[in-house]
């Protein structure tokens, strides 16, 4: 459990961080909370010669709540997501999901940016952001660009982010009044990745449904969302079961995961519908 040696960088602004990434290419990685990357390095499954710590970059911090949009800095911790008063009323789904991530100690350090940018299919925030139709803002040598969360994930640990880009902010449209939200997660114990998790928004004739850890990327399903928008719960579940592609692991075989996925989804839908105006 001892990582190979590496150089540690702690830039003070985004431009400097990008400069370091440009200098070292694929031998460098940014590190936010470190709760995904450091264990991989300790297991020697990842070997990085240069770590670029984003802790000192003020531009990456802060939660802003405007009339129709919420912006999260990439370095906002899960703990801040949970304890921020305005956020809990603006988008209660974020707090509900963050409380299901890891444990309090990890949440003090783990960040929302790291969670969405790493591309780990086990992480909760990517599916949540797809459900919320968030947009990720990226900064790189060629400037800034935006990528929709629903377009961001390509495969496990592969995303639309280029090697020399940094995910800086997350913009989330505020769900309208009358939209019910719910996050349902089955896990084996505190700190575990989901056996299956479902994020659901429904109300006013609209719906959005995404699931976590049931494929090599998070799964947002347009068909499932449309079915639910039309009030067809079983149609939504069937469409989602078509979309997911779980693999067997210590949590159980595929058959079990599909069953639990349907159960989680139905429960999330039920709670979201009860909360809808």
Report the interface residues with other proteins, using CB under 8 A. Answer: 1-2, 4-5, 43-44, 103, 186, 188-193, 195, 250-253, 256, 259-260, 263
- Smallest gap from Cβ 46 to other proteins, in A, equals 14
Measured CA to CA, the distance from residue 42 to residue 203 in angstroms comes to 45
How far is Cα 221 from Cα 17, in angstroms, rounded to an integer? Answer: 35
Q: How far is the CB of 4 from other proteins (least distance, A)?
A: 6
End-to-end CA distance of the chain: give it in Å, rounded: 51
Q: Select 178 or 253, whichever has its Cβ closest to other proteins.
A: 253
- Sign, CA dihedral 239-267-200-73, equals negative
Sheet of 28-31: strand order equals: 7-9, 50-53, 28-31
Identify which of residues 50 and 266 has a Cβ nearer to other proteins in the complex.
266
Looking at residue 26, the DSSP 8-state letter turns out to be G
CB of 263 to other proteins, least distance (A): 5
Cβ 24 to other proteins shortest distance, Å? 20
Nearest approach, Cβ of 125 to other proteins (angstroms)? 18
Smallest gap from residue 145 Cβ to other proteins (A): 35
Distance CA 190, CA 251 (A): 14
Rounded to whole angstroms, how far apart are CA atoms 173 and 21? 31
- For the purposes of burial, counting CB atoms within 10 Å of the CB of 88, is it exposed (0-12), middle (13-18) or buried (19 or more)? middle
Q: Starting at the edge strand that comes first in sequence, how are the strands of the sheet with 219-220 ordered?
A: 180-186, 196-203, 206-212, 219-220
Nearer to other proteins, 189 or 205 (CB): 189
**Six-digit token string for 200:** 């659901």
Residue nearer to other proteins on the CB measure, 191 or 230: 191
Nearer to other proteins, 18 or 260 (CB): 260
Rank residues 157 and 256 by Cβ distance to other proteins and give the closer one.
256
């Amino acid at each position: 459990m001892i990582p190979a040696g590496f150089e540690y960088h702690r830039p003070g602004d985004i431009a400097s961080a990008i400069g370091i990434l440009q200098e070292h290419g694929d031998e460098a990685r940014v590190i936010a909370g470190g709760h995904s990357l450091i264990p991989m390095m300790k297991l020697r499954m990842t070997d990085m010669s240069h770590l670029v710590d984003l802790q000192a970059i003020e531009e990456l911090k802060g939660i802003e709540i405007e009339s129709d949009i919420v912006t999260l800095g990439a370095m906002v911790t899960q703990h801040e997501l949970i304890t921020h008063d305005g956020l809990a009323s603006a988008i209660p789904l974020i707090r509900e999901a963050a409380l299901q991530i890891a444990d309090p100690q990890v949440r003090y350090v783990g960040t929302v940016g790291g969670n969405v940018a790493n591309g780990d299919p086990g992480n909760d925030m990517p599916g949540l952001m797809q459900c919320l139709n968030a947009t990720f803002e990226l900064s790189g040598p060629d400037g800034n660009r935006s990528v929709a969360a629903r377009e961001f994930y390509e495969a496990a640990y592969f995303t639309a982010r280029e090697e020399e880009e940094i995910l800086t902010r997350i913009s989330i449209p505020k769900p309208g009044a009358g939209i019910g939200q719910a996050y349902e997660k089955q896990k084996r114990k505190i700190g575990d990745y989901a056996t299956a998790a479902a994020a659901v928004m429904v109300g006013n004739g609209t719906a959005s449904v995404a699931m976590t850890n049931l494929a090599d990327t998070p799964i947002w399903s347009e068909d499932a969302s449309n079915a639910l928008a039309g009030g067809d719960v079983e149609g939504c579940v069937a469409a989602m079961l078509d979309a997911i592609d779980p693999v067997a692991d210590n949590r159980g075989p595929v058959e079990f995961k599909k069953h639990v996925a349907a159960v989680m989804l139905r429960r999330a839908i039920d709670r979201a519908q009860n909360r809808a105006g």
